[in-house]
């Protein structure tokens, strides 16, 4: 394999990775706290796109519990989305680490 062929393959892989990454970033992932008090959606770019809080939790006595539920729910979802993104990209690149190009 000559250098030109290698570069062509690398460019093709880069285009494919960029396409998959763009598609992934537009996906939405739902999250919900264990008690169902906090619900919402986060996209593949790890941006919160929707957040719903049960009205019963909207009082000062529940403030710390509500904050904890939000943090835990979002962190769990971020971990799941990050893992799914990594798995998706690994399928495209056959396990080749392309993180330097992303």
What is the domain count for the chain? 1
Distances (CA, A) of 87 to 40, 48, 93, 94: 23, 21, 10, 10
* Residues 6+ away with beta carbon under 8 Å from 76: 31
Whether 16 is covered by a domain: the verdict is no
Kindly state whether residue 66 falls inside one of the protein's structural domains.
Answer: yes
Phi, psi of 81 (to 5 degrees): -65, -45
For residue 93, the enclosing domain spans: 28-101
CATH number at residue 49: 3.30.1310.10
For residue 84, being part of any structural domain is answered with yes
The model's pLDDT over 22-64, given as tens digits with 9 standing for 90+, comes to: 999 999 999 998 888 999 999 999 999 999 999 988 887 888 9
Examine residue 13 and state whether it is found in any structural domain, yes or no: no
- Predicted local confidence at residue 101, as pLDDT: 53
């Amino acid at each position: 394999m000559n250098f030109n062929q290698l570069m062509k393959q690398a460019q093709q892989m880069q285009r494919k990775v960029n396409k998959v990454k763009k598609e992934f970033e537009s996906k939405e992932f739902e999250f919900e706290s264990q008690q169902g008090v906090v619900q919402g959606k986060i996209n593949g770019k790890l941006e919160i796109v929707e957040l719903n809080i049960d009205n019963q939790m909207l009082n000062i006595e529940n403030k710390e519990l509500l904050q904890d539920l939000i943090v835990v729910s979002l962190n769990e979802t971020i971990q799941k989305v990050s893992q799914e993104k990594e798995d998706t990209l690994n399928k495209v690149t056959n396990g080749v680490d392309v993180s330097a190009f992303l």
